[in-house]
Structure 1
Amino acid sequence: MDAPSVDPRTWFGGLTGRDFEGFHTGGDTELWKRLGAHAVTVTDTDGRERSGVRFTVWAPNAREVRVFGDFNDWNGESHPMELIPGTGVWGIFVEDAHPGQVYKFKVHGADGRWVDKADPMARFAQSAPETGSIVTESHYEWNDADWLERRGRARHHAEPISIYEIHLGGWRRGKTYVELADELVEYVSWQGYTHVEFLPLAQHPYEPSWGYQVTGYFAPMSMFGTPDEFRYLIDRLHQAGIGVIMDWVPGHFPKDEWALGRFDGTALYEHADPRQGEQPDWGTYVFNFGRNEVKSFLVSNALYWIKEFHIDGLRVDAVASMLYLDYSREDGAWVPNMFGGRENLEAVDFLRYVNTHLYEREPGIMMIAEESTSWPGVTRPVDQGGLGFGFKWNMGWMNDTLSYIQREPVHRQYHHNDMTFAMVYSFSENFVLPISHDEVVHGKGSMINKVPEDDWRKFATLRAYYSFMWSHPGKQLVFMGCEFGQRSEFDESKGLEWWVSDLWGHRGLQLMMRRLNELYRQNSPLFELDNDAAGFRWINADDAGGNVFSYLRFDSQGSPMACLVNFSPVPRPVYRIGLPHDGPWRELFNSDAMDFHGTGEWHNNGWVQATDVPAYGLPASADVVVPPLGAVWLVPVRE
């Protein structure tokens, strides 16, 4: 081929400074289309079309930037890049490059050092320990149009949401995106969860971090396959009616020299002042949320997963660490805001921006905050002074209820409030009740081993606890393995202990979880008014001595369900409760059923008869058999 009429170093694939105006004002939310590596065809001054790859990277303070890789035998001298005027962006068109090739940037930073860097906008990356970026273009044809159309009409707060949280590498070790598209879809469909939530699948080099140390924000984890193979997994989940949530980590990033940190020899993505720019708990950098280009980068990243991979929601990690300038810092080790306070006003502005933008661009998606403090209005709309999230993890409910079940039953009466306190604030936010990976690692013990005493009590208590959780206001989330009572703490290097799921107790728990999900989907009182006080009423919240909790759930039409949970090993063969009306009530669910490896002895023969004798402020009442360490759900028999 003849040499091009114009030096290819000056070709930017049609990009000019005007293309980056939004980037510099914080308004470019599709930045992946302009930065990074893109296969393009350009026309030279002789009218000839030439195919290659356009490389662009933001490094405004660099003295020089070069690109090198498979296309030039890793010659770090042959392809110097040029600044696109007025942008701080370096660009080059490389005619010999094509998708599938590995590349890096060689950056001569403002500090005088040459450092080889991965592309911050890479959409595919080498697996660890290699650190190169890979040119990629998607050719995937989606088959989930029906799902996306339904998603756009979703009313999540009034719909059933039960989430199966997954560490993809540990669910079944060694499986690829393609293999999981069969096995994971089959299992989650059988269990009946409405959604899966993946621990972060953006590229990260250190597997034991579980993905919370991201080095490639736009690249799906390559150890499981290609980006299009990840699309295939999501597509298959959608076709099976299962939504996909992914953890997103905008609060901090690792200090690996080849990644984002000090990218052009200066604190480009992070604050320069360590009191603002470093997170001491995790040894990481903190994004500079006040910098417009960083806002464009992060908002674009959030939208990227939703637009390009059809992700249905993002669970935003460690929101508290973003909101508070003094988060996990000693006195004098943080910088107050302009008003002298501890609130990170720039992070607040960023979170409101990303939530507003995503909900406007993609109706039907979910933004979920992992926020562990009492910050007001996390799920309140932005125009009402809130942060604009759709949901918030209820960490208080999780801590209190786990503390309760870890006590000996005889001591639970003194901590009855641990199980009831959440109702004081349950409708102040839109909550998800999380039993996540964080509760079964780092010495906290597995769910089954949190419960004291013998196996009968352990499994019965856990069945009662999940029954309480599934009937409590709020959406549900459990980490993989919790559904069958894995005994060991989660260890990503070993994966789940699937063999125990065939054993007594474990199998019964797994089957009960399947039944809970089935009943949950079928019964609107369990989900329709999760965020409305009209959807809940205590029958008796004060039976501390009996370790029993009884309450009613209602749907928008006023249809009730009565729920009773006994956290004592003593059965309650005649337990009086109030009910909204008399007549027969069917026993919809009993956690002590033999199908769930319960005793099968303590049941109501399928129904109870309510009479018009008032009790607990309700016009009718009935005597109910409540099993030891068990739960019962009742619904009125319709004429």
Structure 2
Amino acid sequence: MTPLSPDILDAVAHGAHHDPHSVLGVHESSDGWVIRARRPLAAEVVAVLDDGTAVPLTHLRGGIWEATVESFPGRYTVRATYDGTEHVTDDGYRHSPSIGELDLHLIAEGRHEELWRVLGAHVREIDGSQGVAFTVWAPNARAVRIKGDFNGWDGSGSAMRSMGGSGVWELFVPGIGVGTRYKFEILTRGGQWIEKADPMARAAEVPPATASVVTDTAYEWSDDAWIEERSRTAPVDRPMSIYELHLGSWKQGLSYRDAADQIIDYVGAQGFTHVEFLPLAEHPFGGSWGYQVSGYYAPTSRFGSPDDLRYLIDRLHQAGIGVIMDWVPGHFPKDAFALARFDGEALYEHPDPRRGEHKDWGTLIFDYGRNEVRNFLVANALYWFEEFHVDGLRVDAVASMLYLDYSRNDGEWAPNQFGGRENLEAIRFLQEVNATSYKRYPGIAMIAEESTSFPGVTAPTSAAGLGFGFKWNMGWMNDSLQYIGRDPMYRSHHEGELSFSFVYAFSENFVLPISHDEVVHGKGSLFGRMPGDHWQKLANMRAFLAYMWGHPGKQLLFMGQEFGQMSEWSESRDLDWWMLDQPAHRQLHGFVAELNRVYKDHAPLWSRDHDGAAFSRLGAPAWNPNVLAFARRDHHGNTVAVICNFSGVPLGDFPLDLPESGTWTEVLNSDAEAFGGSGQGNLGAVTTDARGSATLTLPPLGVLWLHHRADA
């Protein structure tokens, strides 16, 4: 065997060689088999073979030791002596790669749907040794090594090997396991060593610490019945009333496990069908609410371990509550320890700043056209469905992904290959992640926060749509909040702000959101937007929510609005739970619970949300600009009429033609005394004449839901 050059030995000694396994470990030579190990500062180094034979090694250079044996040594350990103290360890460099050729091929092709199983840090047994297999994608690196609490945060003895053109680096480290903290050290093409957290880490230190943490799961799920039931029907045909929740400020100090019982008891009593968590992936800055993600595969450790989050979701499922999680593939922060310029160059982000940077948010944009980056994100969505059993992902800031000129002036963006403003690579990515998610996990919901009129957001990918299950109806949200904030005296001039949404209500599968974005940054609370005195504000709240729950589409309400929190939300403190000690706000709280109960019990309000044929406007014979009335039908001919009086005065003897003749039961009255209203109504029922005409009492700032059975 040709002697190794000093340059190679020095590079291996300093952990700067791209293939340390070509030097260290076991290698065949003309004289037999050579064993080499790196043990700097050792006084003596011995290889102990499986049969107990001790083979002394000779020092070559820079802490590299060598011996030759006649036959292949098989398994062995290395005994090194320092100042008379012996240390016996397995040698990671004697092991074959922990990642296979098929995996590397799929990674390069961008088609590895279970990427988290092969990249990152995994507890493994290889050739009889327990340890952790580390793998990372860093194609521009000259060398990569691992530093952690297992090697005194000195990575020079834990250099990884390049797996060729795939850009993947690999090393098996024996003798370590769950709980090990680590980072990657990357030698850039410019010759700089940089430290990075693992992009595929499945756990991380509690911020502001930034190291990745080796984890494994032994969690046994108990939600098989829920998953089976979920797979049978599409969410669009089921009731969906979503409680949006920021875990850190709903009640401060709760862990994932602590939160389980409290969320189940509260959300269950309120009748919401789903909880939507603001992003729970690891993020360095709590004030971002989770929307600037540094660890896409790591549930934030602020509230516990990954298995603790599994426990929370499992418990929610067992209680009949679905779980949606916000997901942020549109941008990522510039923090030096995370994805930005990961291997010294633009890698996850698009290299052209006109496509790779959000100046408004101070963040970077993924390079959706790069196979490995697209794969990283598609697999991440699948990871949350597979490993955490979430029922849906609400995809943040989709509009910013769709348009190359999003929030950019002339000259700040580059058109696509056809001269257009659409980000074709991002569109293909969204189509892929949606199609793949629905294929693998029937019954889940992919939900787009999309604020423009981009066509076909919820159209299937087979019809050139984006393939989402739902889209947030931002137009409805803006118009309806503007309307409800007006003094009732002037609302008659603005009826179109409420009714315009009916024009396009069935163009997509919509969610109606009153989200966290509407109660921050000086916007105040939903209660604070309402006009009038305290009683009128609460009446407006009840009327608005009853109109919202009756409107075609699913509903989403941000925490605190269900009891009329008066102050603007802040992530740094609890909700104002003391307000439930105020009788009027406790009544609003009870009203929202009743809204959800009646909603779930009446299929016309949810079973044909996407079907314009199941909806009709009502208004004849006496049109009033302050009255908005419409009817909704289910698959069996049952009907619910929603009649809203947004004026500040009651309307007695109000004539209205209903779509069916007979008796209509008053199943909800937002003005009922039990909810803090004035108690005006129709004594529980309305009866029409043979033509379907009826005379009603419409309470002030009130909404009625009337139900007609098909067989009545």
Q: By the TM > 0.5 criterion, same fold?
A: yes
Task: Tell me if structure 1 keeps the 8 A contact 2:348–2:373.
Answer: yes
- Bigger shift: 11-20 or 249-258? 11-20
Alpha-carbon distance, 1:379 to partner: 0.2
C-alpha deviation, 1:504, in angstroms: 2.7
User: Match of 2:478?
Assistant: 399
- CA, structure 1 residues 541+395, in 2 after alignment: closer, same or farther (shift >3 Å)? farther
CA distance in 2, matches of 1:537, 1:399: 23
Which residue in the other structure is 1:610 paired with? 688
Match of 1:42 among 98, 111, 126: 126
Residues 45-65 of structure 1, C-alpha deviations (whole Å, 9 max, x = no match)? xxxx11000011111111111
Question: Does the 8 Å CA contact 2:114/2:382 hold for their aligned counterparts?
Answer: yes
Pair 1:219 & 2:315 matched: no
Quote the Cα distance in structure 2 between the aligned partners of 1:541 and 1:65.
74
Q: 1:304-330: CA deviations, max 9, x gaps?
A: 000000011000000000000000011
Q: What stretches of structure 1 move > 4 A for 4+ residues in a row?
A: 1-7, 541-546
Partners of 1:17 and 1:84 within 8 A in 2: no
For the pair 1:472 / 2:551, whether they are aligned, the reply is: yes
Distance 1:558 1:12, change over 3 A: farther
**2:538 counterpart of 1:454:** no
Shift of 1:112: 2.2
Residues 221-240 of structure 1: CA deviation (Å, up to 9, x unaligned): 10100000000000000000
Matching of residue 22 in structure 1 with residue 106 in structure 2: yes
Deviation sequence 1:240-286 (CA, Å, 0-9, x none): 00010000000100000100010111101111111111011110010
Cα deviation for residue 573 of structure 1 reads 1.7
Whether the aligned pair in 2 keeps the contact of 1:38 and 1:55 (CA below 8 Å) is: yes
Aligned equivalents of 2:278, 2:621: Cα separation in 1: 38
Counterpart of 2:613 in structure 1 is 534
Q: What CA deviation, in whole Å up to 9, does each residue of 1:589-608 have, x standing for no partner?
A: 101111111122x1111112
Alignment of 1:260-271 (within 5 A): 260-271=339-350
- Structure 1 Cα separation of the partners of residues 364 and 340 of structure 2: 7
Q: 1:574, CA displacement in angstroms? A: 1.3
Question: What does residue 514 of structure 1 align with?
Answer: 593
- The equivalent residue for 2:93 is 9
Structure 2 counterpart of 1:329, which letter? Answer: R
SS of 2:502's equivalent? helix
Q: Which has the larger radius of gyration?
A: 2
Deviations 1:474-518 (A, max 9, x none): 000000001111001100001211110221321111101000100
Deviation sequence 1:518-555 (CA, Å, 0-9, x none): 01110011011110012211112997855111111111
* Pair 1:573-2:655 in alignment: no
Taking only aligned residues, the RMSD between alpha carbons, in angstroms, comes to: 1.5
Which residue pairs with 1:620 in the alignment? 692
Which of 507, 514, 522 is matched with 1:428 structurally?
A: 507
Q: Which has the higher contact order (CA 8 A, sep 6+)?
A: 1
How far does the alpha carbon of each residue in 1:328-358 deviate from its partner, in whole angstroms, 9 at most, with x for none? 0110001110001100000000000010001
2:626–2:647: 8 Å Cα contact kept in structure 1?
Answer: yes
Give the TM-score normalised by structure 1: 0.96
* 1:505 maps to which of 577, 584, 601: 584
Distance in 2 between the 1:20 and 1:543 partners?
A: 70
Which residue of the partner structure matches residue 65 of structure 2? none
| Counterparts in 2 of 1:64 and 1:567: CA distance versus 1, 3 Å | same
Is structure 2 residue 683 aligned with structure 1 residue 633? no
Whole-Å separation in 2 of the counterparts to 1:61 and 1:182: 48
1:583 is displaced (CA, Å) by: 2.0
Counterpart CA distance in 1 for 2:365 and 2:96 is 31
1:52 match: secondary structure = strand
Residue correspondence of structure 1 range 151-190 to structure 2 within 5 A: 151-190=230-269
Tell which deviates more after alignment, 132-141 or 13-22: 13-22
Query: Residues 353-392 of structure 1: matches in 2 within 5 Å?
Result: 353-392=432-471
1:344-359 matched pairs, under 5 angstroms = 344-359=423-438
Contact kept, 8 Å, 2:205 with 2:212, in 1: the verdict is yes
Hey, what does 2:380 align to over in structure 1?
301
Q: Find the counterpart in structure 2 of residue 150 from structure 1.
A: 229
Given that 1:161 and 1:476 are in contact with CA atoms closer than 8 Å, whether structure 2 keeps it comes out as yes
- Go from structure 1 to structure 2 and tell me whether the alpha carbon gap of 1:283 and 1:188 turns closer, same or farther (over 3 Å shift): same
The Cα of 1:2 is off from its aligned counterpart by 4.5
- Secondary structure at the aligned position of 1:595 is classed as helix
Report the CA distance between 1:111 and its aligned residue: 2.9
Q: 1:158, 1:364 → 2: CA distance?
A: 10
Shift of 1:376: 0.2
What CA deviation, in whole Å up to 9, does each residue of 1:154-174 have, x standing for no partner? 221121100000001010001
Matched residue, 2:219: 140
Q: Is the 8 A contact 1:59 1:89 kept in 2?
A: yes
- Give me the whole-angstrom Cα distance separating, in 1, the residues matched to 2:444 and 2:620: 36
Cα distance 1:14–1:129, how it changes in 2: closer, same or farther (>3 A)?
Answer: closer
**Matches of 1:464 and 1:156 in 2, distance apart?**
26
Tell me the SS of whatever aligns to 1:72. coil
Distance in 2 of aligned mates of 1:28 and 1:634: 52
Three-state SS of the structure 1 residue aligned to 2:243 is strand
Provide closer, same or farther for how the CA distance between residues 541 and 355 of structure 1 changes in structure 2, counting only shifts above 3 A: farther
Q: Of the candidates 33, 37, 42, which is equivalent to residue 117 of structure 2?
A: 33
- Structure 1 residues 557-566 or 448-457, which shifts more? 557-566
Partner of 1:283: 362
In structure 2, what is the Cα distance between the partners aligned to 1:542 and 1:78? Answer: 85
* Pairwise CA distance, 1:17: 3.3
Question: Residue 471 of structure 1: CA displacement?
Answer: 0.5
Could you tell me whether the CA contact under 8 Å between 1:9 and 1:80 is conserved in 2?
Answer: no
**Aligned residue number for residue 615 of structure 1:** none
| 1:524 alignment partner, one of 569, 593, 603 | 603
State the one-letter code of the partner of 1:628.
P
Q: C-alpha separation between the residues in 2 aligned to 1:542 and 1:62?
A: 75
Q: Partners in 2 of 1:625 and 1:158 — Cα distance?
A: 33
Partner of 2:328: 249
> Does the C-alpha gap of structure 1 residues 38 and 542 become closer, same or farther in structure 2, counting only changes over 3 Å?
farther
Note if contact 1:441-1:489 (Cα within 8 Å) is conserved in structure 2. Answer: yes
Distance in 2 of aligned mates of 1:257 and 1:275: 21
Distance in 2 between residues matched to 1:27 and 1:215, nearest whole Å: 23
- For residues 533 and 18 of structure 1, what CA distance do their matches in structure 2 show? 49
Task: Tell me which amino acid in the other structure corresponds to 1:140.
Answer: Y
Asked if 1 retains the 8 angstrom alpha-carbon contact of 2:103 and 2:112, the reply is no
